Amino acid sequence: MNSGKTVFSQLMDFIPTYEFRKCIERYHGEYKVKTFSCWDQFLCMAFAQLTYRESLRDIEACLRSVQIKLYHMGIRGKAARNTLAHANAVRDWRIYADFAQVLIQRARKLYAGEELAVQLDQTVYALDSTTIDLCLKLFPWAKFRRRKAAVKMHTLFDIRASVPTIAIITHGKVHDVNILDDMIFEPGSIYVVDRGYLDFARLHRIQQASAFFVTRAKKNFRFNRICSYLTNKTSGVRCDQTILLRGFYSRAAYPDRLRRIRYLDPESNRLLVFLTNNFSLPPLIVAILYRYRWRVELFFKWIKQHLRIKAFYGTTENAVKTQIWIAISIYVLIAIVRKQLKIERNLYTILQILSVTIFQKTPILQALSDSECRIETCDSHNQLMLFN
């Protein structure tokens, strides 16, 4: 007897299917498709991400072992290995990239009220990339080194919401700083980047867009000091200066003034030098903002450890991008469920619980709640009494 919906089906109920259909129609994802739809493909890949399946054969074996439950999970098509492999290789990855953006916008609205350690009205972003190593023989399109292949996931991370807002997937040879050419900067927002993005011509684009950046200076950085400001040495701030670039090409690339802050990190006892075009923030706040950049590093670590993006189910570029975008969608979906159900557990614990309860017909709030739930059992009248 069917006593309810599976946990997997309840989790997928948080997905706006109307927006998913719009993404499919935008790229004609189901042109001449009769049985295995894009929704079936997404559900199978979501199942693989949530349960950390090793391969397409592993996905097929696990789903066929629960064949009678597939209908209640929402999977209508036959989940065959070849069918899923063909769908990943052929169907446009932009379907799932656009749908991930739908989930991201929803998550950012839910987490808009989250507080940071500093009081800021502006949106703070961290920009960084992570490299995923691949086999050159299987992924010849993913150029990286002479005998090594790789893809890079360049990510713009919303620090307040703790979700990625932009993810650009390229082969490994694309330098991080080139991604700044493809970005549209929000006026008033703050972009925190490391020294790998220190290109003054590209940073000047952020200045011209009325946005702000925070980065670190290199050791050979040359400048002319215009003025200095008083600082509180006990806070760790050693100096706060307004400067102009000294080199001819650097000055031509960034003709405006910059702010230079030297800060002694009390945890590592290292002297850090920050550059920013924001002259209104206190210097200590600038140092704290740069420390927030590590949240994008934690995101990379989390998604590599707990979702399936280090080993891929297909070798084509389309299959790789499809798998990465669906993994991002699952990460954001779990964040949405956590916020809407007001669950106190962290994302890792939620994912671990989902991986073992995915086929159970338990209310999802009860499954994910950290409080112990009492389950009432009814005695069967057909059971004979062994003892009086």
Residue 259 falls inside a structural domain: yes
Residue 203 falls inside a structural domain: yes
Residue 252 falls inside a structural domain: yes
Residue 50 falls inside a structural domain: no
CA dihedral 96, 99, 103, 106 (to 10 degrees): 160
Which pLDDT does position 387 carry in this prediction? Answer: 52
pLDDT digits (tens, 9 = 90+) for 82-130: 999 999 999 999 999 999 999 999 999 999 888 876 778 889 999 999 9
Residue 217 falls inside a structural domain: yes
Which pLDDT does position 108 carry in this prediction? Answer: 93
Are 223 and 245 in contact by the 8 Å Cβ rule? The answer is yes
Residue 324 falls inside a structural domain: no
Give the number of domains in the chain: 1
Model confidence at 207: pLDDT above 80: yes
Mean pLDDT of 282-311: 90
Which pLDDT does position 119 carry in this prediction? Answer: 77
Residue 297 falls inside a structural domain: no
Which pLDDT does position 380 carry in this prediction? Answer: 44
Which pLDDT does position 381 carry in this prediction? Answer: 46
Provide the phi-psi class of 5: left if phi over 0, else alpha when psi is between -120 and 50, else beta. beta
Mean pLDDT of 355-364: 89
Q: At what angle do helices 317-340 and 81-90 cross, to 10 degrees?
A: 100
How far CA 19 is from CA of 23, 29, 36, 319, 343, in Å, comes to: 6, 14, 19, 22, 25
Phi, psi (degrees; rounded to nearest 5) at 156: -100, 120
Which pLDDT does position 375 carry in this prediction? Answer: 41
Which pLDDT does position 385 carry in this prediction? Answer: 52
Specify the range with the lowest mean pLDDT, choosing from 81-85, 157-161, 296-300, 382-386: 382-386
The mean pLDDT of the chain is 89
Task: Give the side-chain half-sphere CA count within 13 A for 134.
Answer: 28
**DSSP state letter for 2:** -
Cα Rg of the chain (Å, integer): 25
Model confidence at 247: pLDDT above 60: yes
- Cα 96 to chain centroid distance, Å, stands at 14
Residue 198 falls inside a structural domain: yes
Model confidence at 384: pLDDT above 90: no
Which pLDDT does position 370 carry in this prediction? Answer: 63
Q: Any alpha helices (H) in the chain, and if so which ranges?
A: 7-12, 17-26, 38-51, 56-65, 70-73, 81-90, 94-110, 200-208, 248-253, 283-291, 294-306, 317-340, 347-357, 364-368
For 227, the domain range is: 194-290
> How far apart, in whole angstroms, are the C-alpha atoms of residue 168 and residue 50?
23
Model confidence at 70: pLDDT above 60: yes
Those residues whose C-beta lies under 8 Å from the C-beta of residue 269, and which sit 6 or more positions away, are none
> How far apart, in whole angstroms, are the C-alpha atoms of residue 288 and residue 187?
21
Which pLDDT does position 379 carry in this prediction? Answer: 46
Are 259 and 241 in contact by the 8 Å Cβ rule? The answer is yes
pLDDT digits (tens, 9 = 90+) for 362-375: 899 998 886 554 44
CATH number at residue 217: 3.30.1370
